[in-house]
Every structure is written in structure tokens, then in C-alpha cells.
């Protein structure tokens, strides 16, 4: 157990790589995992409404050593990766308004307007206000950018409450009084050494959290996948056959997500239009999350056996893109992360709901209601992990940091040419097969 905790801690450090420049990340800033340098650069650029120019082809390499060579390309990548400019206060003070858990989706047209300065012209008379949310995307956690507690206002009281007033805000979303012994909400990415050394106090799971989690788990279809994956020994699988199998598997997984939506406890609270919008924007992420967790035994077992019978040609190997390589590396890493965490069905159900309830998706008719639901399950997930795994204080932030990574990978996979998918899956499954999780589906 001690060895596992060391592995998780080391893995957690490795995971925190800035999505902009590759430097060591310090947390989830403005919606994505990033370093202090890129966080500060993005904040200065947006607050000061700066317009940069690129002297090359607007495709400069971003790395820790080269990130300062082209400010235009650095800001461009910040926006492309999903940094949320609405999370920044105009006056530059800590305590932004980032309501998203992962990166925001922004169109190429809007990015162009920001890069050219046109977007800033339209916002000249708009003042970005602060509602007390932190820069770490934890809903109302009352921690400012300087890592000091900041006041959080609640609807039920006009007075401000400090960090340990998490109870009041939490009750707003899951609606049950919380006993005093677990009012403290740790900083999402910087647990203090003092709190980490304190022995965890035994407590029971909040009844409302227990009920909400049971409803989410009941909505899941955890039965083994039905797509046939048995191939005779000695049979050579072709690229076309493997691609057809992947399509059938994706169809089954997508069908399960559609059925899942209809069983959600909040199904009647949202419009069909919003559900359609959410599903069309997140289905790849939902399939990826389920494949890496509850269906991992089948995906990384039976499907891996099929892909092992597929031999790509030299031409396929030569044409494999850099984007495909990046997706492959990130998928392998994320699989190892989930395999070490051994994500429970309850945690998976919460993560899936949190990821699905993304209020930053374009075209929604009731984003504010989505935000309320998102926060509800955020708190429920935290309550469950702190109850179930009291000796793993970093478990909840570890789980939440996987969500922006899933969104990033899912977004990148869309750009991988279809003919390269069989090779991509073969490479990923071959690398992961030896460490298949032994927990049951």
C-alpha cells in the first residue's frame, strides 16, 4: 500500500506538464493544466488587451526554452488549448470567474478576433466581476490565486465565510447539513504539509451524496461489451477489418451513452436541445473515459488480442502522423494513471457526469442550470473520495486533473486521419496490455 502511494505521488508530479510549453505545471489555471509562466503570460495578455504579431508562419514551436520567442504563437496556443479568458479579472486581482473544469471550446473565428484585438474593442465598456471562484476551477473553493483564503458569499447569508465555510456553499448544491468535522475543503492542487500529515478522521458519507451517487451508478450499463472480438489463432487481421471492428465498438459505446442520458437523475431538468448539444460535444470524451475505466478489461484484453493479429505495412508506419504519436503517448500515460488509481464505479459515474455537464459548450439554452448541476456532482465526488479513501488526500484532485486531459486527447483524436486509427489502437493496446487492470467490469 505504501509503495502504491509513492507511485501515485510520482505519477501525479509527472502528469502536471504544461499543455502550452511542456514545462512543469503547477495546477489547473484558467481551465487547463499549465505552468506559472504560461498562466502569467495569458493573464497579462488578456488583462492588457495585447495584440501580438508573428514574423514567421504563425506556427512557432512552443517549448520551455522557446516559448518567449513568439508571443503571438504562445497566446494562440493558450487559446487553442482552451484557456478561459473569462476566468481573469480585468483589474488583475486574484479570484477569477472560471466556472469550467476543463478547457473551454472556442471557435477559430473567435480566436482570430482575440488575436487581432477586435474582441477587446467590443468589451471596452464591460467590467469582468468576481464571484469568489478560484483560479483552480474548484467551484467556490474560496482559495485565491495567491493561495490565501478569500471570502465566499452564499445566497443564504450576506456575511462572508472563510475557507472552512465550504459547508454553506456545499449545502446549496447537495442540500444536506454537514457536520463540523469535515467542513474544511483542502486546496485542490496544493494541500498543505500540515493537513497531509494529520491523521484522517473517520466519518460517514453524507446521506444526500450517497443517494446521488447511487442514482448515477444505477444509470450506468456496466454489463460486458457485446461487440464480438474473438479471432481464430493464426488469422491475420487486415486494416479494413480492424477499422470495421473499431467502428462497431464505437457504435455500441455511443448507444450506451445515449441510453445513459435517459436514465440520469436530472434528465427531466434539462431540455432535449441541451442534451443533444452536450452529447454531440462530449461523446468522444465519454467513450474514452468509459474505455479507460469500467470497460478497460475488455478493451485492453480482448481488443488487444485482435490488434495483435494486425500487422501494419511499412507505408502505414511511415505515414503515421506526429498528432497520432502525441495521442498515443497521452493515451498510454492516462491508462497507466487510471490503472494505478483503480477508479471505482462511483468515482467513474461522478467524473462522467461532471465532464458531461460542461456549461461552456456553445449553443446551450440553460448554461446556469448546467453549472449548478456540475457543482453538485463535483461536491458529491469530493465527499465520496474523502470518505472512501481517507488516506489518499490527493485522490480527488488527481481524478479531476484527468478530465482536461481526456478532453484534450478526445479533441486531438478527431484530427488523426481515419486510416491511421488501426495503427494507433494497436500501438496503445500493445503498450498497455501487460498492465491490464484486474478489477472486474
If we measure between CA atoms, which residue out of 404, 387, 382 comes closest to residue 289? 404
- Structural contact between residues 404 and 102, judged by C-beta atoms closer than 8 angstroms: yes
State the DSSP code for 227: S
- Structural contact between residues 208 and 176, judged by C-beta atoms closer than 8 angstroms: yes
pTM above 0.85, yes or no: no
What span, in angstroms and rounded, lies between the C-alpha atoms of 11 and 171?
A: 33
Q: What is the pLDDT of residue 186?
A: 33
Chain segment 258-277, per-residue pLDDT in tens: 999 999 999 988 999 999 99
If we measure between CA atoms, which residue out of 25, 33, 115, 31 comes closest to residue 64? 25
Q: What is the pLDDT of residue 122?
A: 54
Domains in the chain with CATH codes: 2-122 (3.30.50.10), 152-186 (no CATH), 207-435 (1.10.565.10)
What span, in angstroms and rounded, lies between the C-alpha atoms of 304 and 223?
A: 19
If we measure between CA atoms, which residue out of 395, 393, 391, 350 comes closest to residue 373? 350
Q: What is the pLDDT of residue 48?
A: 79
What span, in angstroms and rounded, lies between the C-alpha atoms of 9 and 423?
A: 32
Q: What is the pLDDT of residue 144?
A: 30
Q: What is the pLDDT of residue 110?
A: 86
One-character DSSP codes across 20-89: TT-SBP-EEETTEEE-HHHHHHHHHHHHTT-----SS-S-----TTTTTT-HHHHHHHHHHHT--GGGS-
- Structural contact between residues 433 and 304, judged by C-beta atoms closer than 8 angstroms: yes
Positions of the chain with pLDDT lower than 70, given as ranges: 1-16, 89-103, 120-203, 434-441
Find all residues with CB under 8 Å of 400, minimum gap 6, and list them: 28, 101, 137, 188, 351, 354, 378, 381
Amino acid at each position: 500500500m505504501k509503495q502504491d502511494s509513492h507511485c501515485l505521488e510520482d505519477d501525479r508530479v509527472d502528469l502536471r506538464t504544461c499543455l502550452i510549453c511542456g514545462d512543469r505545471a503547477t495546477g489547473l489555471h484558467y481551465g487547463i493544466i499549465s505552468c506559472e509562466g504560461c498562466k502569467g503570460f495569458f493573464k497579462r495578455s488578456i488583462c492588457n488587451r495585447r495584440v501580438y504579431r508573428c514574423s514567421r508562419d504563425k506556427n512557432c514551436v512552443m517549448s520551455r526554452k522557446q516559448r518567449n520567442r513568439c508571443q503571438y504563437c504562445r497566446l494562440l496556443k493558450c487559446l487553442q488549448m482552451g484557456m478561459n479568458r473569462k476566468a481573469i479579472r480585468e483589474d488583475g486581482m486574484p479570484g477569477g470567474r472560471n466556472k469550467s473544469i476543463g478547457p473551454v471550446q472556442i471557435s477559430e473565428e473567435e480566436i482570430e478576433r482575440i488575436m487581432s484585438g477586435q474582441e477587446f474593442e467590443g468589451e471596452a465598456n464591460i467590467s469582468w466581476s468576481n464571484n469568489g471562484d478560484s483560479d483552480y476551477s474548484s467551484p467556490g473553493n474560496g482559495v485565491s490565486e495567491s493561495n490565501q483564503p478569500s471570502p465566499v458569499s452564499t445566497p443564504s447569508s450576506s456575511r462572508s465565510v472563510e475557507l472552512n465555510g465550504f459547508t454553506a456553499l456545499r449545502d446549496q448544491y447537495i442540500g444536506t447539513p454537514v457536520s463540523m468535522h469535515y467542513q474544511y475543503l483542502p486546496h485542490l492542487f496544493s494541500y498543505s504539509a500540515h493537513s497531509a500529515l494529520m491523521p484522517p478522521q473517520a466519518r460517514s458519507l453524507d446521506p444526500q451524496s450517497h443517494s446521488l451517487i447511487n442514482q448515477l451508478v444505477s444509470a450506468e450499463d456496466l454489463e460486458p461489451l457485446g461487440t464480438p472480438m474473438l479471432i481464430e489463432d493464426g488469422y491475420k487481421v487486415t486494416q479494413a477489418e480492424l477499422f470495421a471492428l473499431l467502428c462497431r465498438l464505437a457504435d455500441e459505446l455511443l448507444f450506451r451513452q445515449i441510453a445513459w442520458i435517459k436514465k440520469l437523475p436530472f434528465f427531466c431538468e434539462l431540455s432535449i436541445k441541451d442534451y443533444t448539444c452536450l452529447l454531440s460535444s462530449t461523446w468522444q470524451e465519454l467513450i474514452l473515459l468509459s474505455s479507460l475505466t469500467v470497460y478497460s478489461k475488455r478493451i485492453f484484453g480482448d481488443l488487444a488480442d485482435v490488434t495483435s493479429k494486425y500487422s501494419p505495412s511499412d507505408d502505414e508506419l511511415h505515414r503515421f502522423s506526429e498528432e497520432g504519436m502525441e495521442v498515443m503517448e497521452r493515451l498510454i500515460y492516462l491508462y497507466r494513471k487510471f490503472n494505478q488509481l483503480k477508479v471505482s464505479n462511483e468515482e467513474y459515474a461522478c467524473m462522467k457526469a461532471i465532464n458531461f455537464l460542461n456549461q461552456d459548450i456553445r449553443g446551450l439554452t440553460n448554461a446556469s442550470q448546467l453549472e449548478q448541476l456540475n457543482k453538485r456532482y463535483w461536491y458529491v465526488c469530493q465527499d465520496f473520495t474523502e470518505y472512501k479513501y481517507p488516506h489518499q488526500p490527493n485522490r480527488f484532485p488527481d481524478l479531476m486533473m484527468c478530465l482536461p486531459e481526456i478532453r484534450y486527447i478526445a479533441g486531438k483524436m478527431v484530427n488523426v486521419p481515419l486510416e491511421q486509427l488501426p495503427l494507433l489502437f494497436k500501438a496503445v493496446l500493445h503498450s498497455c496490455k501487460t498492465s491490464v487492470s484486474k478489477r472486474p467490469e
